[in-house]
């Protein structure tokens, strides 16, 4: 397979390169840029010296036909304009940005404050939450790869909503992310001295992943839910931990909650149901495509605590994108992704 990456300088792009480098079906990776044509990629990213020393290529629609897949890993507002010119050229399009996730253009405008993608492409694009949408992904031309937070949240709460174990409107999600989620562009908010040794909340009740979560709940469970969702910055590079709270429906037991998750994911190699709190943490999935989930019913309050962890750059971005590519090309989902988490 021949792969193109647009937006390789972002951290999602770097992780695509890291995993595709070891993917047995990938024979070539080409990096495209809108602005830095000719730049030697490894000059900016020293870790790629002797691994990817090619110059960046100019985005050129004519040359794309020979590719099998194009990953677009760009800031929001780029692929809404770029993808229309790529559709139909041949390669599958896997978009890691938020531009094709929300089906309703108005929602996109409201939460992203940008012009939405064309309606026909929004309709055609398939939401790439692999474990929940495999059939549609297989046949998709455009995949809207899920956001990092929605991936962690949805994988953990969807089984409980779908199996009618929790009151969906009681759902409160308190999410925490490492700072790589803010991307590679320096700012005061990602400046080491002001970020290190600091834990903070941001975009209170206003994160653009809220409509994505609510849309997916509806898409996969037919339930309309309005959720509380907040996001925090953890002074570490990688990892998301989502803590969700929901009131259980009458009579629901802890065993039912756990079994619901186990049953849902029994054939899904990247989702692990954890029994012991001490085995759960973002470093247990670091560098890997795993999503670990733990649920625990609090009988004092009749609420279940639903905890999940992912590596935001892997299962939350590049890893899931490659997992979707594997599905599209009828390859085992784990191909190129079967790595042991780093832990330390």
DSSP state, residue 318: I
Closest CA to 311 of 339, 281, 287: 287
CA distance 46 to 8: 14
Nearer to a copy of itself, 102 or 309 (CB): 309
Nearer to a copy of itself, 104 or 338 (CB): 338
Nearest distance in Å: CB 199, a copy of itself: 5
Nearer to a copy of itself, 65 or 342 (CB): 342
Q: Strand, coil or helix: what is 246?
A: strand
Nearest distance in Å: CB 217, a copy of itself: 14
CA distance 147 to 203: 16
CA distance 124 to 118: 10
CA distance 34 to 25: 27
Nearer to a copy of itself, 126 or 240 (CB): 240
Phi, psi of 187, rounded to the nearest 5 degrees: -160, 170
Nearest distance in Å: CB 280, a copy of itself: 6
Angle in degrees, CA 298, 303, 307, rounded to 5: 80
142-144 and 172-178 strand pairing:
unpaired
Contact by Cβ (8 Å): 343, 315: no
Nearest distance in Å: CB 222, a copy of itself: 20
Closest CA to 152 of 175, 182, 186: 175
- Of 17, 78, 94, 148, the catalytic one is 148
Exposed/middle/buried for residue 45 (C-beta within 10 Å: 0-12, 13-18, 19+): middle
Nearest distance in Å: CB 250, a copy of itself: 17
Mark whether 148 is an active-site residue: yes
Biggest alpha carbon distance in the chain?
Answer: 64
Nearer to a copy of itself, 135 or 343 (CB): 343
Give whole-number Cα distances, 26 to 22, 87, 171, 336, 338, in Å. 8, 22, 41, 9, 15
CA distance 179 to 188: 12
Nearer to a copy of itself, 144 or 160 (CB): 160
| β-bridge partners, 30 | 4
Nearer to a copy of itself, 60 or 197 (CB): 197
Nearest distance in Å: CB 89, a copy of itself: 28
**Residue 151: Cβ within 10 Å count:** 30
Task: Give me the active site residues, please.
Answer: 148
């Amino acid at each position: 397979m021949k792969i193109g990456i647009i937006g390789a300088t972002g951290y999602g792009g770097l992780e695509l390169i890291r995993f595709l480098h070891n993917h047995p079906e990938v024979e070539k990776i080409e990096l495209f840029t809108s602005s830095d044509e000719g730049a030697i990629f490894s000059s900016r990213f020293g870790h790629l010296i002797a691994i990817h020393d090619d110059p960046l290529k100019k985005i050129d629609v004519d040359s794309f036909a020979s590719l099998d897949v194009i990953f677009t890993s760009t800031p929001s507002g780029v692929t809404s304009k770029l993808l229309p010119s790529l559709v139909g050229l041949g390669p599958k399009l896997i978009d890691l940005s938020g531009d094709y996730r929300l089906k309703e253009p108005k929602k996109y405008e409201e939460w992203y404050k940008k012009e939405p993608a064309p309606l026909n492409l929004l309709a055609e694009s398939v939401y790439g939450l692999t474990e929940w949408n495999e059939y549609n992904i297989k046949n998709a031309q455009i995949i809207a790869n899920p956001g990092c937070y929605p991936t962690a949240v949805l994988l953990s709460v969807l089984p409980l909503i779908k199996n009618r174990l929790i009151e969906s409107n009681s759902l409160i999600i308190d999410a925490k992310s490492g700072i790589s989620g803010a991307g590679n562009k320096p700012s005061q908010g990602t400046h080491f001295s002001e970020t290190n040794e600091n834990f903070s909340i941001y975009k209170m009740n206003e994160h653009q992943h809220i409509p994505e979560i609510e849309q997916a709940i509806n898409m996969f469970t037919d339930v309309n839910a309005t959720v509380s969702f907040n996001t925090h910055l953890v002074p570490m590079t990688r990892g998301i931990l989502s803590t969700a709270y929901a009131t259980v429906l009458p009579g629901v037991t802890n065993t039912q909650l756990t079994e619901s998750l186990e049953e849902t994911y029994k054939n899904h190699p990247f989702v692990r149901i954890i029994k012991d709190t001490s085995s759960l943490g973002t470093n247990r999935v670091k560098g890997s495509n795993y999503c670990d989930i733990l649920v625990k019913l609090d009988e004092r309050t009749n609420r279940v605590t639903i905890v999940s962890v992912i590596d935001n750059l892997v299962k939350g971005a590049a890893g899931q994108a490659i997992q979707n590519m594997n599905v599209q090309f009828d390859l085992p989902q784990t191909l190129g992704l079967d790595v042991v988490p780093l832990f330390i």
